[in-house]
Structure 1
Amino acid sequence: MAIDNEPPEDGETIVIYSDIEPDFVSNNLSTSFELDVNQDSIVDLNIYYDIEGNTLLIGSRSYLSGVLSLTDWGTYTVPLDEGRKIPDEFKNGELFSSSSYFSIEAWGYQVDKYLGVRIYIKDKFHYGWVRLQFESDTSWVIKDYAYNATPDTPILAGQKE
């Protein structure tokens, strides 16, 4: 089902929340998850496990879209706590990278950490989040995600409305 992607009225913030039921669980090293944040039939982010590098890889459909990282070379994806503003005053050189990779172990086996995402839709930036859980070096779960349908407007990690 597609979401009406008409721009909101001035000053209006619309958070589009999507709960993945059942949660996407990857225990098979060859699985991947294609994330279409705004449900326009265009994959915004592809998340998959690379067995050779023992890492989780994230790629975006556009060099303008991406995930919050510490370097523009696509490394050191930043795990966010619930309530963190996306985007925020970037600390420690954080920026959005169109591709990213990181070891699950480096994130720690944490429950409910968030990827900060930026998606380029109809010539405008939209910010969002993806909630992840890591259970082992090769087992990861995607629980839900959301984005702010109001262009160039922040969202909080975990914000659902």
Structure 2
Amino acid sequence: MKKNYEDKIKLFTAVAGSLSIFSANTAEAQTIVVRDINPDTAVNATHSNYDLDINNDGVVDFYVYKWNGGNYSAFYFSGTAYSSTGTNNNAQTIASHTNFVAELNLGDTTASASVYNGNRYSILVGAKVNVSPPVLWDAFQWPAGATDKYVGVRFGIGSEMHYGWVQLSVASDYSSITIKKVAYESSPGALMKAGATVSANAATVTIDDHANNADASDIRVTITKAADESNILNYRVYVVPVAKITHATLDTLQNMVAGNYQNIAKTGSNTTTMLSSTLKDIYGNAIVEGTPYKVIVESVGNSTTGDALSAPSNSLTLSTIPVTTGVSSQNTMSGKIYSSGSTVYLTDIEKNCKISIVGSTGVEIYKGSVNAGDSNILLSGETS
């Protein structure tokens, strides 16, 4: 293993298996903690119960057990209020229906928006077993032979709620279930994708004031791409008032409503783009002049990858960019003229028109034209 990866992955020895921590260098320490149940643990007629400790802290989170009643057999996946330790850790499973544990596929999310069930009799699978093949109690249960599927879970660590998954399989004859691996997101409240074991790499971001519209479209964002984009779907940009920057946590941003963020496609290269004029800050407020802002970029991971946040950008307060002294605009065309430093910009210009700029001495200092495909032009004559 290369040294730089050794620095990122720490291995722990635990009673029930090995514990691995995968992390990315982000503004918020986003870490997916994975524990391999080694060897795989089967719950069956001879080993009818298993106390499952997701984060291996000595506190049981779930009680998995087999029940037999005459011609019927069932497997339950219950929260800790009903474990053999009697410890209530507010542990619950995502429900497919009342009292039934949902079967998740790779990439399905576990988050606060899901429906959770803490019922003592949360059924994973139940069947009439004196017939061949066995007959399920209900269509909401896991099918026979389900392999490497996931239970979405949430549980408490101290006073904070964490989300995760448990990987298991169901025997083809419903005689056993086998627990193979567990994982959870160490950032409290952050969503988790079933089967995710690593987090995406973070990008970096800078911003500057590049227009005079008094809204988000004044902000030019430069994203330096993540070192590895292979497991990233796209980037997501959030504008945050500087006074509230500590509120921009992973779980808060992941649950943001559309309109309060802007998706930016990955290109394989660094990206510079203007934000949309309709974009709001993370509180749903209009982006205005006079308020200091920072931008945070989320690397949105694919189905097997957790998300990551960039460090906040530089601070930026939007203001009207003044026109350079000695430069004026006649009302012979639409558009705006302004300067940034020593550069003069003409924006929103009519198509197919001619431009002449005359200095204070009456000497023409610029002459050019605007083609049909151009809308902005620099004083040097280069379109932008």
**What's the TM-score once normalised by structure 1's chain length?**
0.82
1:108 aligned onto 2:143: yes
Among candidates 100, 109, 112, match of residue 76 of structure 1: 100
Which structure 2 segments of 5+ residues have no match? 1-12, 20-25, 81-87, 127-135, 199-384
1:87 aligned onto 2:111: yes
Partner of 2:118: 98
Distance 1:38 1:133 in 2: 21
Partner of 1:125: 161
Give the percent of matched residue pairs that are identical in Structure 1 and Structure 2: 25
Distance 1:64 1:147 in 2: 15
Partner of 2:41: 24
Among candidates 74, 89, 94, match of residue 55 of structure 1: 74
Greater Cα radius of gyration, structure 1 or 2: 2
Partner of 1:137: 174
Deviation string for 1:46-93 (max 9, x for gaps)?
A: 10111125211122223732100134x5x1211000111111754xxx
1:35 aligned onto 2:70: no
Distance 1:108 1:50 in 2: 17
Count of residues paired in the alignment: 150
The answer on whether the counterparts of 1:66 and 1:119 sit within 8 Å (CA) in structure 2 is yes
Distance 1:141 1:102 in 2: 12
Other structure's SS at 1:64 match: coil
Which structure 1 segments of 5+ residues have no match? 4-8
Change (3 A) 1:140 1:149: same
Other structure's SS at 2:100 match: coil
Distance 1:146 1:34 in 2: 16
Among candidates 85, 90, 114, match of residue 64 of structure 1: 90
Deviation of 1:130 (Å) = 0.4
The answer on whether the counterparts of 2:77 and 2:101 sit within 8 Å (CA) in structure 1 is no
The answer on whether the counterparts of 1:130 and 1:146 sit within 8 Å (CA) in structure 2 is yes
Which one is further off, 141-150 or 56-65? 56-65
Distance 1:40 1:150 in 2: 16
Deviation string for 1:123-153 (max 9, x for gaps)?
A: 1110010011011212111110101111000
Deviation of 1:117 (Å) = 0.2
Deviating 4+ runs (over 4 angstroms): none
Residue 119 of structure 1 aligns to which amino acid in structure 2?
F
Distance 2:157 2:95 in 1: 20
The answer on whether the counterparts of 1:49 and 1:57 sit within 8 Å (CA) in structure 2 is yes
The answer on whether the counterparts of 1:29 and 1:49 sit within 8 Å (CA) in structure 2 is no
Other structure's SS at 1:28 match: coil
Distance 2:189 2:68 in 1: 36
The answer on whether the counterparts of 1:87 and 1:155 sit within 8 Å (CA) in structure 2 is yes
Residue 179 of structure 2 aligns to which amino acid in structure 1?
I
Change (3 A) 1:88 1:122: closer
